[in-house]
Amino acid sequence: MAEAFPVTNTDGTTSWNTKFFGPNLQQILRNALVAEAVCNVDRSNNKLIYNPYSSQPTVEISTLTGTYTPAAYTTTNDTLTVGTEFKVGEQVYDFERVMQHADIMADRMDNQAYAIKTAIDKYIVNLLCEDGTGTYTTPTGGFTVGSNIPVIFANLLSKIEGYSTPMGGAYLIVENTDIVGILQAQLTSGFSYSDRSLNNGFLSNYAGVDIYVVASGTFENATYVGTDTTSITNSGHRVFGVKGAATYAVPQDVTSRAFDVSGKTGKEVSTNGLFGFKLWNQFKALTVDITLA
């Protein structure tokens, strides 16, 4: 009797070699984080941070008398309170861990940490916009119209110039849909600058202002829970200001852990971060809430 050979289905989906990408590929399209670029960051384990400041002195002007009138001054305690907790938890079962081609435990911890940092970043961008007392309304079309850009930047810069201490420089936070007009302005702004834009694409600085781009939908209408519950009304808004005018506190940064849960295989993975934010009172006028027209 002839030896029987196994039938091989060369068209079967399992007959091909397969390749699995690790989780790093999925990180390419993560949202950009901007908070650390425009704020001071405090990672100490303090719940309260104080920033006392005194009132400005008033200069007395007179003829040559040699006398003056002593004036009273006031001191105000401005405080930052860590009062918000961001957290996420997931169960990774043992069969998921064993049978996965990628390190699913490390992937979940990494994604959780990034999700919390993204949520904190969104909080900060919106709180900057909400708490700033400077205001500006763009010409019709906002940042999407190229001819508006020089006008917008000139008006914004006029609100922060004239002070002896430039602090950390100026910043502007816009959404990705806004760069249409900004890029058009860059491409037509003088030979050298235009040439750099043509060769390198969108430039992150214009008229000395550092431009940070966040994903569409970052500026929102929402209720933020923390030390004080704050209603955010920032849909259709953007924010401009000077760097270092605000501080946010993240004690011990974002922390991940894995632990056993009774009645379940594998590990529960959880990540949490504590958070506090303050746009300091002396600098609120140097943070501008931009309304798009």
pLDDT at residue 62, as a whole number: 87
- Residue 264: both structure tokens together: 């379940």
Amino acid (one-letter) located at 177: T
Instruction: Check residue 143 and give its pLDDT.
Output: 96
Q: Which residues of the chain have pLDDT under 70?
A: 1-29, 98-102, 164-166, 227
Q: Does domain 29-55+76-291 have CATH number 3.90.1690?
A: yes
| Token duo for residue 227 | 């030390």
3-state secondary structure of 199: helix
Q: Give Cβ neighbours of residue 164 (< 8 Å, ≥ 6 apart).
A: none
Give the domain ranges of the chain. 29-55+76-291
Q: What pLDDT was estimated at residue 247?
A: 93
Strands 134-137 and 40-42, how do they pair? unpaired
Residue range 81-106, pLDDT digits in tens: 998 999 999 888 887 776 665 577 77
Q: Which of 128, 120, 91, 81 is nearest to 276 (CA)?
A: 81
